[in-house]
């Protein structure tokens, strides 16, 4: 019987899994998860490790329940070496996997195809992680895109999103006994159980992904355009962790929206699909600029006076102790559930890179460690966009005022009060700026600023002016060079 290894990574789902689907039609299947250093060259953050543990737990359980097939787990240094061992042990005739677009592993996937094809195996990679292939879309001049709007226009004209596949009717178990490591041996869960609140917040399973999609489509998508920036409301999809781990595919989401409206999208539904377009754009940019993981896309920012110190101010930012309520709420939400509302992500990133003048890479690394939806393209693109040094970047003079942003998008202070309970006693008009409250008001609710909640770590206007001066100086330096 023909037997195929299906190499899994960020595609832990049974439905719309092309590698698994096609392998199941050929004969027996050996699903394999390799935890190797070259397949995971950037160490996964703590929150994503917890998610990955639960995702593997769920996926392997479904494989066993539906098909009586075991997920093979191996640990090692080299992916090629581990695959060599598996091929020798099992005498398989092929290796199938779904293509990833991480620039750190792109060459590895190419080497897998070349190496095992030469050995006579049927080696295939399949498309499912993105809606488009990054090399397919080009400007009229034949160059990759660096601005979102024309990219999105071209995408809508030229890209046809394939309909998702169902789950395999049957997966035949190989009759070869393959040695496997226990999930616990991956040591993805920390010794201290700090993830209790994440356990309560997330249903880490393929079923959980579709439940969340259904909830969003039933309750929030039509108002998404108007309310997506409100962190106090449950009006975003919260599908990003499932997408990042491959527990749902982007084309499953795309077609669920299209079919719901029979192609006649509401403004909310269109705005949501546009956000999937941003994910595509982020990978398009990273694919064509792989150094973006560590380097500024706009090279003039190499001279920008960002600070790299992880000093007391930086740690106050990470812990949600800046004295700026909307920022502290966001950072505490991130720490407790591994996720933060997108509007608040922009606010906290602007504060770090502009008001505090910290290098965007410090924030990107913190998000990488604490987000359950940590995704290399979205994370890097988001931070460079906010810092002003990336593709289609926010202009340098756009420095989010966290107080006005809080009042606009969390008008009653409910989001802040949820994550910063010290401020619950304050009247709504002072929640976003407790230092503006008259002393009489503070005393009446038994609140002492500087004791019950810290004073702002930086003066808002002064730090904004300092950032503007630095950006303007950078512009002058560029003009002199030109």
pLDDT tens for the chain, 482 residues: list them: 899 999 999 999 999 999 999 999 999 999 999 999 999 999 999 999 999 999 999 999 999 999 999 999 999 999 999 999 999 999 999 999 999 999 989 899 999 999 999 999 999 999 999 999 999 999 999 999 999 999 999 999 999 999 999 999 999 999 999 999 999 999 999 999 999 999 999 999 999 999 999 999 999 999 999 999 999 999 999 999 999 999 999 999 999 999 999 879 999 999 999 999 999 999 999 999 999 999 999 999 999 999 999 999 999 999 999 999 999 999 999 999 999 999 999 999 999 999 999 999 999 999 999 999 999 999 999 999 999 999 877 677 789 999 999 999 999 999 999 999 999 999 999 999 999 999 999 999 999 999 999 999 999 999 999 999 998 888 765 544 33
pLDDT at 123: 98
pLDDT at 395: 73
> 237: annotated binding-site residue?
yes
The CA distance from 339 to 278, in Å, is: 18
Fold of 130-163+207-288: 1.25.40
The three-state secondary structure class of 236 is coil
- Residues 6 or more apart whose CB falls under 8 angstroms from that of 33 comprise 8, 9, 56, 71, 72, 73, 74
> 186: annotated binding-site residue?
no
* 244-268 residues labelled b (16+ CB within 10 A) or e (exposed): bbbbbbbbbbbbbbbeeeeeebbeb
The CA distance from 295 to 274, in Å, is: 27
> 321: annotated binding-site residue?
no
The CA distance from 66 to 400, in Å, is: 50
> 24: annotated binding-site residue?
no
Say whether domain 3-127 belongs to CATH 3.40.50.620.
yes
Q: Cα dihedral angle (322, 326, 328, 334), rounded to 10 degrees?
A: -140
pLDDT at 477: 54
Q: What single-letter DSSP state applies at residue 413?
A: S
pTM of the model as a whole: 0.95
User: 325-337 and 402-409 helices cross at what angle (nearest 10)?
Assistant: 70
The CA distance from 335 to 51, in Å, is: 14
> 122: annotated binding-site residue?
no
> 239: annotated binding-site residue?
yes
Nearest CA-CA partner of 159 in 254, 240, 252, 248? 254
Domains of the chain: which residue ranges?
A: 3-127, 130-163+207-288, 299-477
Burial status of residue 70 (CB atoms within 10 A of its CB: 0-12, 13-18, 19 or more): middle
> 374: annotated binding-site residue?
yes
> 3: annotated binding-site residue?
no
> What CATH number has the domain spanning 299-477?
1.10.579.10
């Amino acid at each position: 019987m023909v037997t195929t290894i299906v190499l899994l990574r960020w595609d832990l789902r049974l439905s719309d899994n092309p590698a698994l689907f096609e392998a199941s039609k050929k004969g027996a299947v050996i699903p394999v998860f390799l935890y190797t250093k070259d397949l995971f060259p950037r160490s996964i953050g703590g929150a994503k490790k917890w998610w990955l543990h639960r995702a593997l737990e769920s996926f392997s359980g479904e494989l066993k329940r539906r098909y009586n097939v075991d997920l093979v787990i191996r640990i090692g240094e080299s992916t090629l070496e581990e695959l060599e061992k598996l091929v020798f042990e099992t005498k398989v005739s092929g290796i199938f996997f779904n293509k990833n677009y991480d620039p750190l592993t792109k060459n590895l996937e190419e080497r897998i195809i070349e190496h095992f094809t030469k050995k006579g195996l049927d080696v295939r990679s399949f498309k499912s992680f993105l809606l488009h292939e990054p090399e397919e879309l080009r400007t009229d001049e034949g160059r990759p895109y660096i601005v979102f709007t024309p990219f999105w226009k071209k995408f809508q004209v030229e890209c046809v999103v394939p309909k998702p596949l169902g789950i395999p009717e049957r997966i035949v178990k190989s009759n070869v006994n393959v040695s496997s490591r226990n999930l616990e041996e991956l040591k993805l869960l920390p010794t201290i159980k700090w993830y209790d609140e994440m356990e309560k917040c997330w249903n880490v399973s393929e079923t959980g992904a579709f439940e969340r999609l259904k909830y969003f489509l039933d309750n929030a998508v039509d108002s998404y355009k108007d309310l997506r920036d409100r962190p106090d409301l449950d009006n975003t999809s919260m599908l990003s962790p499932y997408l990042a781990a491959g527990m749902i595919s982007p084309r499953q989401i795309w077609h669920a929206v299209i079919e719901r409206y029979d192609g006649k999208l509401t403004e909310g539904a269109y705005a949501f699909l546009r956000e999937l377009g941003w994910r595509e754009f982020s990978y398009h940019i990273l694919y064509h600029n792989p150094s973006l993981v560590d380097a500024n896309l706009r090279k003039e920012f190499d001279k920008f006076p960002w600070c790299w110190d992880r000093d007391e101010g930086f740690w106050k930012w990470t812990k949600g102790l800046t004295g700026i309520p909307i920022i502290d709420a966001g950072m505490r939400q991130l720490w407790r559930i591994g996720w933060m509302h997108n509007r608040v992500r922009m606010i906290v990133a602007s504060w770090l890179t502009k008001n505090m003048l910290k290098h965007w890479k410090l924030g990107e690394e913190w998000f990488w460690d604490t987000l359950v939806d940590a995704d290399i393209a979205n994370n890097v693109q988001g931070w460079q966009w906010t810092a002003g040094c990336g593709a289609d970047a926010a202009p340098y003079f756009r420095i989010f005022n966290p107080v006005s942003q809080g009042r606009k998008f969390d008008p009653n202070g409910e989001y802040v009060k949820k994550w910063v309970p010290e401020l619950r006693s304050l009247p709504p008009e002072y929640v976003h700026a407790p230092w503006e409250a008259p002393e009489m008001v503070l005393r009446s609710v038994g609140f002492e600023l500087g004791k019950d909640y810290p004073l702002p770590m930086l003066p808002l206007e002064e730090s904004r002016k300092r950032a503007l001066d630095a950006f303007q100086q950078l512009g002058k330096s560029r003009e002199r060079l030109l």
